[in-house]
Amino acid sequence: MIFELSEEQRMLKDMARNFAVKEIAPFIDEWEENSRFSRETFRKAASLGMAGMYVPEEYGGSNLNYFMGVMVIEELARSARAMNYLAVHNMVTRQIFLNGTEEQRQKYVLPLAKGDLLASICITEPNAGSDINAMLSYAVRKGDDYILNGTKVFITGGGESDIYTVLCKTDKTKGLNGMSWFILEKGMDGFTFGKPEKKLAFNSVPVCQLFFEDCSVPAANRLGAENEGFKNFVRSINGGRVNVAAEAVGGSQAALDAAVKYAKERVQFGKPISEFQTIQHMLADMATELEAARLLVYQAAYLLDHNLPATKQVSMAKRFATDASMRIATDAVQILGGYGYMKEYQVERYFREAKRAQIVEGTNQVQRNLIARELLRD
């Protein structure tokens, strides 16, 4: 499959790249060092349509498809993979648009798409990661409200975001068919946050636990029909996985670029190390894996956009792109040698950032299970 970009797509890709180079790259190391989230940068990204990529223009969005969206995410990740929080934000914005009432769309989608509000999605719990059925958070209907109790962990944007879509059980007897989504607002009674987590990377984006203690949520804030939350989750998770894969491609490109540049400049034994066959072979393997990952991501996005069966291809793209990203970042550190271990040379950050993508949106072991399931179903 050949993906020849249209003029509109090239312009979009260039816009995202220019934004990342000017508004992110000069500042990301300071943000990471000081664990500072830049709300200003989020608002600037929103002003260019990057906070409502997947919703129609009448709701403040850019009305992009997944193929165009992954190109934006890829270009942002070349400067800072921590900008993946924008993918999470867009996932929530699209989620509310697709599953919400018109009142919810007007109340939440418009300000989210404009960047007036920031959003997080809340699924993982202390005892429920890959095993979503082990979820303990639950909500009980009481008049015009639901009373929510439970805990969520590893929430991207936790404490900083204004809006949170929360998945919990509403019928404990039905397993996966007894879950519902709710839209929570920061400041609701009974909704509190844990301390910011200290992480291997992505410190410019806060992550923390969320606690719900008899949190009263209006029934009007239920997102979608009661007990159909898991069905809605399945419909949206493929988009999230493609976004993570696109982030991995962008990070891989940054690592390869840095390795190529250094190999041309570093002189040992009287010549640039790029002239040594060992280095050339490493670079060739890095570039080949990167290109294969990019094509898998583009294919998966294309299938999603055309409503074609995509589960296998999405899992392949997520698994391969993120595993390749870890290998490419590792080899970039190796090519830079001792300098690759130093913070002055950003490949050590690329290395630290790469690990996350192998875990989030379903671990790569889970992706292998899904791929095998689809293969054996045929």
Cα–Cα dist 1/367, whole Å:
23
| Selection from 89, 106, 115 nearest residue 239 by Cα | 89
Host H or E run for residue 190? none
Nearest 5°: the CA angle 152, 364, 87 is 55
CA distance 347 to 360: 21
* 8 Å CB contact between 361 and 156: no
* CA–CA distance, 301 with 242 (Å, rounded to integer): 7
Verify whether residue 361 is a known catalytic residue.
yes
Angle subtended by helix axes 347-357 and 229-265, to nearest 10: 160
CA-based radius of gyration for the chain? 21
Query: Which one-letter DSSP state was computed for residue 109?
Result: I
**Token code pair at residue 348:** 């050590």
Residue 253 token pair: 């490109």
Cross-strand partners of 211: 151, 192
d(CA 316, CA 302): 14
The letter for the amino acid at 99 is N
Alpha helix positions (H), the chain: 7-23, 28-34, 39-47, 66-79, 85-99, 102-104, 110-114, 229-265, 277-305, 311-336, 347-357, 364-377
75, 125, 160, 361: which one is catalytic?
361
| Overall residue count recorded for the chain in this entry | 378
Say how many Å lie between the first and final Cα of the chain, rounded.
22
Rounded Cα distance, 36 and 264, in Å: 34
Distances (CA, A) of 134 to 85, 124, 227, 254: 26, 10, 16, 38
- Residues with catalytic roles: 361
